[in-house]
Structure 1
Amino acid sequence: MDRKPYRLGIISALQEEQAGLITQMRDGKIFTRGKRDYVHGNLWGIDCICVLSRLGKVASAATAAMLIERFDVSHLLFTGVAGSADPEVRVGDIVIASELVQHDMDTRPLFPRFEIPLTGLSRFPSDAQINRYLLEAATNFLDQDLLTEISEENRANFNLHQPRLHQGLIASGDEFIASASRLQELKRDFPDLLAVEMEGAAVAQVCHEFGIPFSVIRTISDNANEDSAVDFLSFIRHVASVYAFHTIRRLSALLP
């Protein structure tokens, strides 16, 4: 019997970002909808549905809408990797989104740049309560699990020296940011930007329109510059997937 009232939808873009969660799930059942496998079961006592959205805003928005409409989730969590958009945010750090923006939305002159038409919003706030639980869970992971769950070799390979936790703005767009000049453009538009990725703000818009609490947590995999593709998948397999697994494990113990 589930011990929590939550039905939590967990989305990741790539299989490697969700490694271990489905094998940990009890009584898992697979439902295929829209060419995606939604795995429903019990994850550390939480009624949970895990799914891979694939890359990009349309893919993630469609996945979020399906979780809400077909699977009746009460909360949504997007976990995966992102590129750093601030010198203080380093590879191996964790960013929890307090707000999300679609950096490639521009319908001028009909609406202001970055504003999502007919919502009146350009920045979508994530759920403060879930973020508090995530903050505690991620802090406990970094303090108590990092040294035992990430090998010394991988900590050295990816320069994981005292990773830190950040909260702030994440920007999403259908563009893999891989140049310093493009990142500088985004920083001019959003001086408080911490990280860039390709899905979170689309999920935020869907959750806003359906009234579903959500959060986005990202492990920083690169610096969103010309070296971004170097060892990207290796980082996800050996670092980011471990971050996600143990942070969600710790989160499950905190949800009321």
Structure 2
Amino acid sequence: MTIGVIGAMQMEVDDLKAQMTDTQTEVYSGVEFVEGKIGDQYVVAAKCGIGKVFAAICAETMILKYDVDMIVNIGVAGTLTKDLNVLDVAVATNVLQHDMDTSPIGDPKGLLSGINMILLPADTKMVELMCSCLADRNIHYKKGNIATGDQFIATKEQKDYISNTFDAIAAEMEGGSIGHVCYVNNVPFAILRSISDGDGGETDYQTFAEKAAHQSIEVVLEFIGRAEELK
């Protein structure tokens, strides 16, 4: 079994790479992929870059080139609910793309043309294992819809729109496209997002993003160590 781990920023995957042994590195479409082992588990890790296109390129390459059995997307997000504060964690039950909008021709907002879905479901077993890892570390988390778009969501108006339209608990810039790629390739996925910004928006992000990213890595390392439970 091989687990793919995708982060948007270097700080989200550096700590993971440091734990890997027997590594080999290759670059495809400008993305560096590091293949190796963490304990007895085969892992492929990559920093995809920020935004939906980079994330999709990375996920598709990881699936086609490395034949991963599942993908975990880690990183940070902004909260859309009072139930999640800075350094809490959002775990996706579904992902969606809040900036996908063909509603002028009669479609509901967020509909992904071609597959005719708005919500793409994360793998149930992966979600439950991720939540177990969070509970073991006494990290407060919430499961729910995570919304993706090519925007840094900072204003109350933006947050209210996404929350009210899609019942989303967090907003970020990669998970929905990774979920989209995984869905069409029939590859299980999970999305873990530590909250780096709340009402403070970009100010919170500058202060807490690195700590939130490190927290994500710690949880994913435990997830990888317990991956045999998914069989």
- Shift in Å, 1:180: 1.0
Match of 1:82 among 74, 77, 80: 77
Q: Percent identity?
A: 27
C-alpha RMSD over aligned residues: 1.4
- Shift in Å, 1:241: 3.0
Contact 1:30 1:38 (8 Å CA) reproduced: yes
Contact 1:39 1:51 (8 Å CA) reproduced: yes
Stretches of structure 1 lacking an aligned partner (at least 5 in a row): 1-5, 144-162
| Residue 203 (str. 1) matches residue 178 (str. 2) | yes
* 1:136-190: CA deviation from partner (whole Å, max 9, x where unpaired): 112112x3xxxxxxxxxxxxxxxxxxx5111001000011001112111222212
Match of 1:118 among 89, 96, 114: 114
Match of 1:241 among 198, 201, 213: 213
Counterpart of 1:167? 143
Stretches of structure 2 lacking an aligned partner (at least 5 in a row): none
Match of 1:189 among 162, 165, 186: 165
Q: Which moved more, 1:241-250 or 1:196-205?
A: 241-250
Contact 2:196 2:204 (8 Å CA) reproduced: no
Contact 2:51 2:149 (8 Å CA) reproduced: yes
Question: Which runs of structure 1 show a deviation greater than 4 angstroms over 4 or more consecutive aligned residues?
Answer: none
SS at match of 1:70: helix
* In structure 2, distance between residues paired with 1:58 and 1:228: 23
SS at match of 2:221: helix
Alignment of 1:1-256 (within 5 A): 6-108=1-103, 109=105, 111-141=107-137, 143=138, 163-190=139-166, 192-223=167-198, 225=199, 227-230=200-203, 232-237=205-210, 239-256=211-228
SS at match of 1:130: helix
Counterpart of 1:153? none
* In structure 1, distance between residues paired with 2:168 and 2:193: 14
* In structure 2, distance between residues paired with 1:221 and 1:86: 13
* In structure 2, distance between residues paired with 1:212 and 1:186: 27
- Shift in Å, 1:118: 1.5
Q: 1:113 to 1:234 in 2, by over 3 A?
A: closer
How many residues matched?
Answer: 227
- Shift in Å, 1:233: 4.3
* In structure 2, distance between residues paired with 1:55 and 1:204: 15
* In structure 2, distance between residues paired with 1:233 and 1:115: 32
Q: Which moved more, 1:98-107 or 1:111-120?
A: 111-120
* Larger of the two Rg values belongs to structure: 1
- Shift in Å, 1:20: 1.1
Name the aligned partner's letter for residue 104 of structure 1.
D
* 1:104-138: CA deviation from partner (whole Å, max 9, x where unpaired): 11123163321100112100000001111111112
Counterpart of 1:148? none
- Shift in Å, 1:46: 1.3
Q: Which moved more, 1:53-62 or 1:177-186?
A: 177-186
- Shift in Å, 1:231: 5.1
SS at match of 1:230: helix
* In structure 2, distance between residues paired with 1:236 and 1:112: 33
SS at match of 1:248: helix
